[in-house]
Amino acid sequence: MTSSLSKLSAAIELGLLKQRSNVPGSGLVDFNSLRKAGADLERRFERAEVALVPPREKRLAALSKFKRQQPLNASEWRLVFAGLSDSVNTCAPLLEDAQLFGRVHGEVSERIQRQTLSRRDWLALCFSYFGYDSPAPDSNNNWCVLRGDIDQGFKAVKQCLSREKEWTRIVDRYVELFSEQAGKQLAEQMLAGEISDLSALQTIAQIPDSSWLWRRIFAVLLSRIFNLEDEVFLRRLPDLVGMGRLNSRYMNDLLSACLTRYYNSRYREQSSSLLKQAALDSWGSPQMRSKQNAWLQYVEQPVCAMVVAWFAKEDLEHFFTLLKGEAEVDQSRLFYWLRFANQMSYTRIVMGGDAWHDRGSDFVAFREKNKGRLSQLTGGPSHNNAVVIQIGNYFFVEFSGTGNACYVYKADTAPFNPDKRVLGLTTELKQQGRALMRMSHSPAPRRANLLEGWLLKFDSALRTLGIVPQRLDGNSAPLPEAVGSSLEKQVAEQLQHVQYQVFDHRGKGGSYQIRLACDDARAKTALMRMGFKPAINNPLAFWRL
């Protein structure tokens, strides 16, 4: 008997194997695929439950019929629920008419009691609730009654469901939106980084972009930004800008607050590429004189000057490194002009033929990033480049090629327009007969960051024009002797964003060494700008005498 059962079992197993081999895909026993298919169907079903906002024309037609006290079918009632905030010409919305809204409230209350309020009815009421156009909706008693109806209605709709659904879980998570504190808790969660994307809620609850809810949320957010500690603010900055991009209506206000808060932080002399690019996308370049007023609509002049200084510093670093031409980088010129970066209201890089046509990745990325802010230099050696700097009412024109003097012009009577796409070397930028000054870079300093030689001559010349180095807060910079002698202070200021070790052997006739804790491009650039050289055996170590 046992042998017969074994044969039968083997025959059944052989038949199943043959059956499995004839079935394409994962076979009969792959219940994993069935589970995946079921989950996919459930997701599609949940998405299908997101109701579309009824067209305004249909809402107004239903409202007209309602006001004439004509019988309404289920669809027309739903249109009335969705149109409570609609106003036509001089007619106030139903939410501001106690008698008419009273009839709606009675209908909703009866449906809640009879448990006949549908999900689509509830969504229509949400559309009216979030769409009510008022700076203080709480002052309208009818709106407050509607809020209570929606809260009770959600509980009634949820109670009738056979199982919990995704949309109910989302609404449960944000149930405070139907309370007196609507929006406040949500704003705090967004600021704390607990929530960043409200698109799911916005779709399910049918919240218009112009809703009072967003105004309330962003009002709380904007006020809290100024209470954050510097480190917390810097950490939350990417999420804050991301919120503005998701809610473009409030991007200007958010950028204004973030830039102002950044200006009031200890990081303001460090360029924020995130803030700079976001503001550039929204308001254009602060250096473009035609765009300047756009910036001043949203931020104060000192904040605008901070961002202009970021652009100026970046332009100077690009000009004296990437666009050095055939010569080595003149670190002394870079050091010199960076001292005035926060006073520069305008910078324009004018690229020679070599840089203009270079297909190297660095040059392609540079031209793309600065599209609209570059000019082409003609009439001179193709390796030569120029940069036009405006401080006060003066243009200073520097060249990358060695042996070229710095030309100074009065900005309001300059013999060229720096915004032109093509500028001639000798016909426009180098006009000795029309220049206010022609300043040569000699004698050279002993070290790039020492204020001596031509740097002191330039300081004296600029002082006659009323221009002296200033810190970002507007106070005068230290005297030249102090700047040249305080290497430790310069290192501390330039490397405050990164950890490092100092080994000072100068007292024994040795070198002054800096060892970075991590590979940081900005720190390396800053060190080399101060005259440090990289160590041969350690890419994170730098030294100078």
Kindly report the three-state secondary structure assignment for every residue of 456-487: HHHHHHHHHCCCCCECCCCCECCCHHHHHHCH
HSE, side-chain direction, 13 A CA sphere, residue 489: 7
Measure the CA–CA gap between 513 and 453, rounded to whole angstroms: 26
Measure the CA–CA gap between 394 and 414, rounded to whole angstroms: 9
The contacts of residue 296 (CB under 8 Å, 6+ apart) are 304
pTM over 0.75: no
pLDDT tens figures, 67-106: 999 999 999 999 999 999 998 777 889 999 999 999 999 9
HSE, side-chain direction, 13 A CA sphere, residue 297: 10
Q: Which of 200, 196, 192, 194 is nearest to 170 (CA)?
A: 200
The contacts of residue 381 (CB under 8 Å, 6+ apart) are 352, 401
Measure the CA–CA gap between 372 and 129, rounded to whole angstroms: 45
Looking at residue 141, its amino acid is N
Residue 48, pLDDT score: 40
Measure the CA–CA gap between 449 and 455, rounded to whole angstroms: 10
Structure tokens belonging to residue 251: 């991007």
Q: Which of 298, 308, 198 is nearest to 251 (CA)?
A: 298
Measure the CA–CA gap between 489 and 348, rounded to whole angstroms: 31
Measure the CA–CA gap between 59 and 77, rounded to whole angstroms: 10
Structure tokens belonging to residue 536: 């041969």
pLDDT tens figures, 462-488: 999 999 886 544 444 443 333 333 677
Low-confidence ranges of the chain (pLDDT < 70): 1-51, 196-205, 288-293, 324-330, 470-486, 507-509, 525, 529
> Which one-letter DSSP state was computed for residue 405?
P
The values of phi and psi at residue 141, to 5°, are: -60, -35
Structure tokens belonging to residue 447: 């070290």
Residue 41, pLDDT score: 44
Chain centroid to CA 11 = 68
The contacts of residue 517 (CB under 8 Å, 6+ apart) are 498, 499, 500, 501, 540
Strands 437-439 and 344-351: unpaired
Residue 294, pLDDT score: 78
Residue 475, pLDDT score: 46
Task: Classify burial at 103, counting beta carbons within 10 Å of its beta carbon; exposed 0-12, middle 13-18, buried 19 or more.
Answer: middle
Measure the CA–CA gap between 505 and 106, rounded to whole angstroms: 87
Q: Which of 158, 123, 104, 138 is nearest to 213 (CA)?
A: 138
